[in-house]
Structure 1
């Protein structure tokens, strides 16, 4: 529905008296589309050849398009530009793509007139025009009309769909995205994809009644990270197979430094997968013992590497939080929670992995100022010599005591 407000200079049509009983409020009439106004649906397909649709003699079955053509008009001399962003800008504005600054796709924008990739606001969108006429507007799918440097969550949002006349949006802003892990945007915020591809293997194995092998071709296999959704194939209300996660505070944070993340190259099964309890609760006595011994991290540099100890690798940190050393177990409703199996690691001369309670505090020994979620470990270590954890963790009843 369009914006409801009085035009500038319009006199107030209500009554303002000495009391509320003598006064009458007045609201501007809502803007509505005229009665029996038609709906408008525009479908844009990138890189579609002239003869690919079935109604143009193409070999691909497109019954819905064919039905639209049969009951409507089929144009034999319709032209667009050769690229997606320029064509889209023409369709939504009614202006030439050079006038829209879209002589090329947004990723190839340059500092020349007509090529800057910025559609001027004086070139209004069809969605803006219809919104002012009382229409509701919705954009779904590929957008590709926002300058590339404005597509992140940092904004600005002035050239996102909701700022160009669309009341709702669900899709992606750029020219392309992964079909398996798409960079989705819902209105003005980014969202995780509703489903992920790692569930396919567990589901197919479940259908075939095949257990995931412990070894394959002589190599020990890491646990599958997906969750079978075979129960939902015949029953949408089937209970989820979500696995309860056990973790220590800060235990799910990787060590992060200069764009690199420390990971163990050969992870083993988690406590839950191995059918083992998560470990002994850290009692007040145990906490005092740990504080008295100064923590393992403070003396790791003087401890030589044991034979067979695993090396720590540094891998490039990925955009998604669950990449690298993070393991994710999720249910079919896309609930995600970190599964923890991190030991503390320290960057010594031989890069040895060590056992350590509370791996977030290993960061200073590795020359890392902060964990990836911004927890300042150095500040916590310097603030209290008796208990280096006191400013870094939240006390969880039954897990840690102070």
Structure 2
């Protein structure tokens, strides 16, 4: 009997732009500033801790479904230190297989067919497909150029009785924009009369520059009562391949998250969790990150100052958005990104990939989470445009 044709649940979704540009970089011998991963190793204490626990008897079997108690306790202590809120390690913290799994599990837990989910664009390309896979309806609200600030009037206009969830991301990927205390207060006022939940993607929480602190939803007493707050050890410790993250949420929301989490990954790598629990109390490892990444931001911006790109402001994360119209005014951003990769030898991501309708503002995104030698080599190639 012939195999029946399979109707795709995401017929309009192809391979991620990050995979596409990374493969193009490999094929072209280009320096990969497209995909958001460092080209340097995690901190030595973390690697040594992992080596110890890999060899520790009993640390090779399943961890508890919500995460190791000692790691959840360390997360609670860190949250209290940074955001003046102590979540209950037993009922309000869940360790996940990266923030990606946490995000998907949240959406699977709370979004029902027909529910609307507000997404501020440009947005990470996982958000909308994950909503649609639950039968939800993405509702897109554009961020305001050139600084990619939320337009709270448009957000208010987009809220309806069907709005189940609003997705927030700060520091923002792809633009590096961050939220202010006034933003959080305004959002709280908008959501106050509604039952709308909040998903706050804060994986770049330790990368905020120019002396500003990260404004976490976990630190806002009103918003955190309706929020899932996501973070990423992979981003914090330069270990994106480890795929360990966590979600902080009130007990009732955490209970729903765990109902789904247990059937996606059940539990996360045990020796990895032990290693993270060992180093998380060493606060200097993440306290140093703002200065570490600001130095890279400042260097990269200086290196690109004579290349013809117009650089947009970067307040956080490790991405630089650039306007290329002075270099190639007639090229759409995807064509420009491909030609830059193949002809100049530097891979970037076109910003239209972060819009559901591929809106083209003639902008591309660089990742500056690279060694200084990598950034200098890329800038040298870009000077020959």
Kindly indicate which of the two structures has a greater share of residues assigned to helix: 2
Q: TM-score, normalised by structure 1?
A: 0.21
- Structure number with bigger Rg: 1
